[in-house]
Amino acid sequence: MEQEKKSLTKEEQKEDDKELALDFTISSAVSRVNIKFLAVYIPIFWLSGLLVGIAFYEYTKNLPPIQENWEAWIITLVLIPFALFSLFFIFILGCMFLSKLFLILINIIHKPKEGVFLAEIGDADFEFWSLRTELKKLVVWLLRNCPVPWLDTLAFRWFGINMDFSSHLQDSWCDMEFVNFGRNVLVGQGAVVMSSMIVGKYLIIKKVILNDYTVIGGLACVSPGTVTGKDSLLGALSSTILNQTLESGWIYFGIPAIKLKQNKLTFITEMTKRSVDDEEAIYFDEGVNIEEDKKKKLNL
């Protein structure tokens, strides 16, 4: 009996090793695909650099010899920091427009779609998804690290996220397709909003919808297919599961996220809106959004 148990344990160990080997192979395949598609940046960077060279030539071509007009050279040298700053933006905007043109061409060849696909080389949906991801990733990184604060929202809008300028991504990451933002959505620092992910040997792509006044806490993870109701809140360090729906006006917390309690801030928001619209003052006999055990401390 003990020998049989040992043999079963060895067989189970072999099965586990196979699973680990499978996962390692898939991870390697993903890495190889990403490296292969990095070649798309060669024409983008070359053409963007060409634009920078043309702009710099236009900036310096009318300079006279320094012996004839040294004042013009001094003015040019003083303005060099501003010129370099402008050239930096010309390079970024060139990458942005060229990447968008490549993306339009790629989407014409193979239209993005939701579903579950094999995450392996040779699968068209997986390879085109990898190409789209690599095409957007570095350019969005350049735009998000610009000193102009609103460029990150412009970058995500430009590459496919349905959102307006009332929503904010506070140093977080969001996939750039199949994501819809409502108004005044806040995604906290370090959070990740994923409309696609690789699980085992499968690629899952599913639309994410964040409705009005949704708040995603810092370092939270939103999985593909997540739909949040109005005024819902996902706590920090929490994670949704595939196709999870968060009800309106509720706070969710945990891994996976579960209902914690109602979002009392929703009531205050609604009352504030109604009072502004009706131009009426609203008085409360006791505090709103104050826990029972805290009222004694405030003499309420």
Strand residue runs (E) in the chain? 115-118, 168-169, 173-174, 179-181, 186-187, 192-193, 196-199, 202-205, 208-210, 215-216, 221-222, 227-228, 233-234, 245-246, 250-253, 258-262
Q: Is residue 199 part of a domain?
A: yes
* pLDDT tens digit sequence for 13-42: 555 544 444 444 444 444 555 667 778 888
Verify that 149 and 182 share a domain, yes or no: no
Q: Say which residue the tokens 């072999």 belong to.
A: 14
* pTM for the full predicted model: 0.73
244-255 residue pLDDT tens: 999 999 999 998
Say what the alpha-carbon torsion angle 172, 175, 179, 185 is, to the nearest 10 degrees: 0
Lowest-pLDDT range of 33-37, 65-69, 138-142, 233-237? 33-37
* The pair of three-digit structure tokens given for residue 188, joined into one six-digit string: 């906290």
Nearest Cα to 128, choosing from 161, 102, 151? Answer: 102
Over 80: is that where the pLDDT of 147 sits?
Answer: no
Is pLDDT larger for residue 215 or for residue 71? 215
Domain match, 149 and 44 both: yes
Place of tokens 């060669």: 42
Task: State yes or no: pLDDT of 293 exceeds 70.
Answer: no
Evaluate whether 92 touches 45 at the Cβ level (below 8 Å). no
State how many domains the chain has.
3
- Residue 174's domain comprises 163-263
Q: Is 220 contained in some domain?
A: yes
Tokens of 288: 């709103």
Task: Quote the pLDDT of residue 27.
Answer: 45
- For the domain that residue 258 is a member of, what is the CATH number? 2.160.10.10
Question: Would you say residue 269 lies in a domain?
Answer: no
- Return d(Cα 228, Cα 211) in angstroms, integer: 6
Q: In what order do the strands lie in the sheet with 192-193?
A: 173-174, 192-193, 221-222
Cα dihedral across residues 93, 96, 102, 107: positive or negative: negative
Last residue of a domain, one of 159, 191, 206: 159
CA dist., res. 294 & res. 272, Å (int): 23
Q: Tell me, yes or no, whether 46 and 194 share the same domain.
A: no
Query: Does residue 270 lie within any of the structural domains?
Result: no
Which residue, 135, 152, 138, is CA-closest to 187? 152
Structural contact between residues 173 and 192, judged by C-beta atoms closer than 8 angstroms:
yes
